[in-house]
Amino acid sequence: MQLLWTYIVSGLTTAAIYAIAATGLVLTYTTTGVFNFAHGGVGMMAAFTYWQMRFGWHWPAPVALVLVLFVLAPLFGALLELVMMRRLDGTSDTTKLVVTLALMLATIGAATWIWNPNEARPIRKFWENSVVTVFGVRLPWHQVIALILAAVVAVALRLLLTRVRLGVAMRACVDDRALASLNGARQSRVAMASWAIGTSLAALAGILIAPTLNLSQLPLTLLIINAYAAAMIGRLRSLPMTFVGAIILGVSTDLLKGYADRISSWTSIDSKFLSGFYQSWPIVVLFLVLLLLPQNRLRSHTATRNREYIVKPTWPGTGLFVGIIVGGAIMLSYVLPKADLFSLNKMWGLGIIGLSMIPLVGYSGHISLCQLSLAGVGMVVMHHMGAHGNPIALVWAAVVAGIVGFIVALPSLRLSGIYLALSTAAFAVLMDRWIFVLPKWKLFGYSFDLFNGGNLNIVKTRLFGMRLTGYRSFFVFASVAFALVVMVVVLIRRSTYGQRLIALKDSPAACATLCMNPKITRLSVFTISAAIAGFGGAIYGQAMQSVTPQSLDFVAGLSILMVMVIGGLTSPGAALFMGMFLGSPFVANVAGKVVPSFSQLQTVLVGLVGIGLGKNPNGFIPSDIRPNWNIFLKHRAALGAVLVAFVGLWILRRADVFDNWVFAWCCLGLLALAPVVLRIITKEPFPPRREPGAEVPKLSVPVDQLGLTGPVSDEDARTLDQMLALPSVSG
């Protein structure tokens, strides 16, 4: 009984921290409509900043606390609102989600860059060795403080939201933002205040939670993400229910950990199989809560104007693209040194994983954060079935990953937007924290050892009797695999199935009234995309040769998604770009000369570019590169000339006229200049930077200056209608 009490009380203190984090999340979500995925990252940054001041520079704790909680964090939150979140008004849920995911990536990258993760950073608890006894339970002061602070936060928020006009205005904005501004409340100020408060709460949670584990970027971020489950129990609306959720979450987590031994003996499952499960318990709760959310009605259009478009590739264009990929791969394989080729091998597998996102995220608009985990499934299959280079293992990798994808999709079918993203994220975290690190086990007489004790060896495939172990042969083989999947993706886009996917993204309600069963279609696209990811994983694994669960973690998957988004989630070219950016040594080599710790900076950069996405949700390949090169489809002769020029360069390189650097720069120069030169020769106009109708729904001037500098344009008026959520006049 005493033991039970101890776990409950310690669970309550965990709950207190979760509650603080979750209320911040709920507050910003309700008042501004943005679910801040980066909440965990921001809290983690704050904890590091606090450590730097308190233990790095030895400032007194009160000074550091006041600075972080009441100055830096609110400022950062207000700044976020000012430069990022404000621009997201009127964009799709997907864009909002991707931008905050990018922010999370950027905070993790920046923290890793600033604070070397290999250094130990002890962070002491408050009044470390003092203990107080409550109801016979000895409670460290640190925990008492957490409990008190949670209560203070609850009371303070209650007072703010009911007794202060700004707080009432926050709630008013939740109800009806347009009306709030008709009343004269300045929405920007309200949003800024809520971001500032939300960020401070994330910071407080980060500082309180940091001493319970070593100060380390990723675990700390994920620990705060655990609190999202509490926010979900509050349905992202109710603060009291969020506190209840935090208590359920905190107490159950500590009870599970406390009674781990008894559970093991009771279920006769060795605790080493369950430790990963206990670790991920909050994520399991998050998953369950998401599944129990009440059924949404079929979504119909939101007021936002569609500014996203999906290019429809032609077969000749695709043939050219595929030809250049394979041809280029063959040419490259002859000029690159072995070592470079070895590290470059990864780009094709990564590229295929990127391609798997195109039908799922790009066409049908379902954000999935678990594609890399599904690729991991493919790797596991490849390891076990392809041990002797059996090429059929590639097929099995796709099939098994497809089945896993199907099973994951089944319960998530009715989720969309942030809920779907969270449930797939939960699956990804569950895989890399629990399933992939499971030790060997036996079931029905069969022995399972998924990750081979933490390190998978993947043997290269044997094809037509040859083993693709040579660097060159594997490089070309992988490029062919990539090219084939490109064709599959193009086939999907050009088929009526692809049309149906896009239709489903635009209006599920309309699809249902046109005989489509939305659930079956979603299930099918999840399965197909998972199969592609599994196949990609099999190729990626062969390139890496040995894989650890860490290389499949949630954040790595996030980077892939983010670079895909930057390139353009509907474009196979983006997958190639992503593969080269994340999988090739060149970028790191080039930039590494300028910035020494480039690998962290890379994450930061990806995050930063992703943040800018609110401006152009289509990605740069469909909106900038493609229109630029379209002209070559009209002038075949010019295209031939460019191709001949490439081959010429390659022959010169083979003859050792110049080295690889010159070759690379010449190729890049040719790529950049050819469309420009052709346009000048043929006197064709340059394409507009964006297609008409794809304009950002944004006022041309800030709203309070509208009409002062010139007459209000039609476009501005329509945008204003949208922003004020005024019904469009029917006829």
Partner 1 sequence: MGDALLELRGVRAGYGGIEVVHGVDLVVERGQVFGVLGPNGAGKTTLMKVAAALHPPTAGDVIVAGRRVNGATPDQLARAGLCLVPEGRGIFPNLSVRENLWMNTYAGASMADVEAAAYAQFPRLKDRRNQTAGTLSGGEQQMLALARAVATRPAVLLLDELSMGLAPQLVEHLYDAVVAIARQGVSILVVEQFAKTVLGAASQAAIMVGGRIVKVGTPAELEDELSAAYLGGH
Partner 2 sequence: MALLDIQGVCVRFGGLMAVDTVTLSAERGKVTGLIGPNGAGKTTTFNVITGLQQPTKGRVLIDGEEVNHLAPHKRARRGMARTFQRLELFGVLTARENVMAAASMSARYRDSKESPAVVADRLLERVGITEVADVPAGRLPTGQGRLVELARALATKPRLLLLDEPASGQDDAETQHFAGLLRQLADEGMAVLLVEHDMGLVMSVCDYLYVLDFGRLLAEGSPDEVRHHPDVLAAYLGREYQ
Residues that bind partner 1 (CB under 8 A): 162, 165, 168-169, 171-172, 174-176, 178-185, 703-704, 706-708, 711-714, 716-718, 720-721, 724, 726-731
Part in contact with partner 2 (CB under 8 A); list of ranges 46-54, 516-524, 538-546, 713-721: 516-524
Least separation in angstroms between CB 365 and partner 2: 10
| Min separation Cβ 238 and partner 1, Å | 11
Look at residues 71, 204, 86 and name the one whose alpha carbon lies nearest to residue 148.
204
Q: Is 617 in the site for partner 2 (CB under 8 A)?
A: no
Q: Which two tokens stand for residue 474?
A: 């594997």
Length, in residues, of the chain: 731
Nearest approach, Cβ of residue 54 and partner 1 (Å):
41
Q: For partner 2, give the closer residue by CB, 386 or 518.
A: 518
**φ, ψ at 143 (rounded to 5°):** -70, -40
The binder of partner 2 chosen from 62, 692, 702, 711 (CB under 8 A): 692
Q: DSSP class of residue 367? A: -
Of 296, 306, 546, 589, the one binding partner 2 (CB under 8 A) is 306
Q: State how far the Cα of 133 lies from the Cα of 72, in Å rounded to an integer.
A: 35
Q: Which does 712 bind (CB under 5 to 8 A by kind): partner 2, partner 1, none?
A: partner 1
Choose among partner 1, partner 2, none what residue 181 binds, the Cβ cut-off being 5 to 8 Å by kind. Answer: partner 1
The secondary element (H helix, E strand) that includes residue 612 is: none
Of the candidate residues 267, 457, 517, 545, the single one contacting partner 2 (CB under 8 A): 517
- Residue 162's binding partner, choosing from partner 2, partner 1, none, with beta-carbon cut-off 5 to 8 A by kind? partner 1
Task: Copy the structure tokens of residue 311.
Answer: 């290019």
Spell out the residues 6+ positions from residue 514 whose beta carbon is closer than 8 angstroms to its own.
Answer: none
Count of residues near partner 2 by CB under 8 A? 32
Q: Report in angstroms how near the CB of residue 707 gets to partner 1 at its nearest.
A: 4
Q: How far apart are CA 478 and CA 468, in angstroms?
A: 10
Query: Token pair of 555, please?
Result: 């954040």
**330-334: Cβ within 8 A, 24+ apart:** 330/476, 330/479, 331/646, 331/647, 331/650, 332/475, 333/471, 333/472, 333/475, 333/476, 334/472, 334/650, 334/654
Q: Which does 301 bind (CB under 5 to 8 A by kind): partner 2, partner 1, none?
A: partner 2
Who contacts 647 (Cβ-Cβ below 8 Å, separation ≥6)? 331
**Closest listed residue to residue 345, CA positions, set 539, 552, 535, 563:** 539
Residue 338 interacting with partner 2 (CB under 8 A): no
Q: Name the residue nearer to partner 1 (CB basis): 298 or 724.
A: 724
In the complex with partner 2, the residue whose CB is nearer, 469 or 517, is 517
Which of 301, 440, 615, 634 contacts partner 2 by CB under 8 A?
Answer: 301
What distance lies between CA 11 and its chain's CA centroid? 30
Helix 554-567 crosses helix 572-583 at what angle (to 10 degrees)? 130
Compute the least distance from the CB of residue 399 to partner 2, in Å.
Answer: 26
Positions in 308-337 near partner 2 (CB under 8 A): 308-310
Structure token pair of residue 399: 């099939």
- In the range 425-454, which residues lie near partner 2 by CB under 8 A? none
Phi, psi of 221 (to 5 degrees): -60, -45
Tell me if 237 contacts partner 2 by CB under 8 A: no
Binding mask of the shown chain, residues 170 to 189, with x at each position contacting partner 2 by CB under 8 A: --------------------
Q: Which helix (H) or strand (E) holds 138?
A: strand 137-140
Q: Which of 300, 447, 596, 685 binds partner 2 (CB under 8 A)?
A: 300
Nearer to partner 2, 443 or 515 (CB): 515
Taking the CA of residue 388 as centre, how many other CA atoms within 13 Å lie in the half-sphere pointing to its CB? 1
Nearer to partner 1, 236 or 428 (CB): 236
Nearer to partner 1, 301 or 718 (CB): 718
Residue 270 partner contact from partner 2, partner 1, none using kind-dependent CB cut-offs of 5 to 8 Å: none
- DSSP secondary structure string for all residues of 322-341: HHHHHHHHHHHHHHS-HHHH
Q: Based on the shown chain and the rule CB under 8 A, indicate whether residue 166 belongs to the binding site for partner 2.
A: no
CA distance 715 to 693: 11
Name the token pair of 507: 């209006």
Q: Which residues are near partner 2 by CB under 8 A? A: 297-298, 300-301, 305-306, 308-310, 496-497, 499-500, 502-503, 506-507, 509-518, 692-693, 728, 730-731
